[in-house]
Structure 1
C-alpha cells in the first residue's frame, strides 16, 4: 500500500467521523494511556504518519528564537506537534491560531509546565528567527510561557528527510501557485498529541481542530502520567 497516497486522500472523510474517546485506557496498546481513537481514518499501521500507539521518530531540532535544542525523546512532557510553514496563507495560520488558543486554555488549567507545543517548519529558507517571531505575534502564541517552541531544520534537505520521510507528512514545493509568489507548498495538515514517552495518543487532521477536545485529551494524558509518578 502507498501510505502517502492514503494520507493525501482522506481529508474529506475525516470530518464526518465521530470524536475520539478520552477515557484512560486499561488494556490497550503498550505505551498509551488514552482509549482507542474512534475517528482515526485507518489502522495505525496503514497510515503514512505515526498514529495511535506508535512512537514518534527521533526529532532533535533547535528553537531559533532562544537557541534551545529540543529532543522529543527526552523532553519529558506531553507534546503537541505539527508541521507548518509560516508563509502559508491559509491552513497553517488557522491551525496555529487554534493551537495558540489551546496553549491559553492549558495555561488556565495550570498545566503549562506539563505540555510543550512544537510546530516544526518545513520551509527553513524563509522561516528564520524573525519570521517565526512575527508568526507567534500574528497567531497569538505566548512565547513568555516557555512551552511554545518553533523547531527549524537547518536545510530543505533536512526538512524533507525529517518531516516527509520520518514523520510521514509529505509536502510538495511548487512554483505554480495562485496563493504565493516565488513558491508554495502542497501539504496535509496533521497534529500529533504524544505522551512524555513520545508515543502518539491522538492525531488530529485538518486545520479546524476542536480546541476543547484537544485540551480534554491533553489533560487526560497529563493526569495519567502524573498518577504514575
Structure 2
C-alpha cells in the first residue's frame, strides 16, 4: 500500500530524550485523520490535525507477516480477515519511561473487557516490538506477565521481526511510522533521565519500570495504537496514547479505546 510521505525530518531534529522527541513526532504526525467511512463500523472521527503518514480511518491496514516468538507461529493480516478485528501498538521492553507500559495497558484493558463482555474471540491484540535483538521470546513472555497479559484468552500476540532492519523497513515504508535507533551516549542518558516520572500503567502505579537492561541504544518513536476491523480497514488511529493522555481530548484515553474496540468487534460478530 502506498503510504503518505512523512511530513517531518528526523535528521534536522535535536534529540532531547525519548519522551521529548516522541511528543514532537506526535505533533508532526498529527492526530486522528479523517478518511472514508463507507467500509467502517465507526463513523469519521470528530477531530483531525495534520496529515499523518500512518494509516487512518477508512484506509487499508498494510499487509504483514511477523513471527510470534512465544507461540512459535507466524502471524499475518490474513489470519484476521473476515474473522477478527485487531488492535495493535508498537513497543520495546527496554523503554526508559512509562510510554510502552502505557500502550500495553490500553491493549490489556481491551482484553479484560473482551473477556467480560464475551467478544474475546472477535478481536486480536498485537504488540509489535522494534527491538528484536533484546526482546527475545523469554523477555517478551516475562514482560507480558508483568503487564498482566492473559495468554489463556488466546487473542494476544507479541510480534517480533527477524531483525531490527526488517522491522524498520515495514514500519517506515509500509506502515508509515517513523522510528529511530539512538546510540549516542548523551542522548541515551537524557532519554533515561526522563523515565520513571509517570508510568501510565494504572494497576502498577508508582512501580519502577526501569528493571530491564537498556544496553547501549534506545529508540525514539511515537506512541500509537491502531484499531482495524475484520475487513482490514482502519477504524481509528490513536496517537499520543501514552502516559499523559488519560484526560486529553484526542480520543486516545483508555475508556475511548475500549469502547471503540468493543463496538467494532461486537458489530462484526453480529453481521
Matches within 5 A, 1:110-189: 110-176=118-184, 177-178=188-189, 179=192, 180-189=214-223
Could you tell me the TM-score, scaled by structure 2's length?
0.73
**What corresponds to 2:91 in structure 1?**
84
- Cα displacement string for residues 18-71 of structure 1 (whole angstroms, at most 9, x for unaligned residues): xx9xxxxxxx533212100113434xxx32101100011111111110112211
Q: Distance in 2 between matches of 1:148 and 1:32?
A: 23
Q: Secondary structure at the match of 1:10?
A: helix
Query: Could you list the runs of 4 or more consecutive aligned residues of structure 1 that deviate by over 3 angstroms after TM superposition?
Result: 11-14
Q: Secondary structure at the match of 1:123?
A: coil
Compare 33-42 and 46-55 and name the one that shifted more.
33-42
**What corresponds to 2:267 in structure 1?**
224
**What corresponds to 1:41 in structure 2?**
49
- Cα displacement string for residues 148-182 of structure 1 (whole angstroms, at most 9, x for unaligned residues): 10011101111111112211111110113112440
Alignment root-mean-square deviation, CA: 2.3
Size of the aligned set, in residue pairs, is 214
Superposition deviation, residue 11 in structure 1: 7.1
**What corresponds to 1:50 in structure 2?**
55
Could you tell me the TM-score, scaled by structure 1's length?
0.85
Superposition deviation, residue 223 in structure 1: 2.7
Q: Distance in 2 between matches of 1:137 and 1:65?
A: 12
1:214 alignment partner, one of 236, 249, 257: 257
**What corresponds to 1:10 in structure 2?**
27
- Give the gaps of 5 or more residues in structure 2: 10-23, 193-213, 246-251
Q: Distance in 2 between matches of 1:70 and 1:13?
A: 29
- Give the gaps of 5 or more residues in structure 1: 21-27
* Cα pair 2:106 2:257 within 8 Å, conserved: no
1:123–1:71 Cα change, 3 Å: same
- Cα displacement string for residues 107-137 of structure 1 (whole angstroms, at most 9, x for unaligned residues): 1111111110001111111111011011101
Compare 209-218 and 103-112 and name the one that shifted more.
209-218
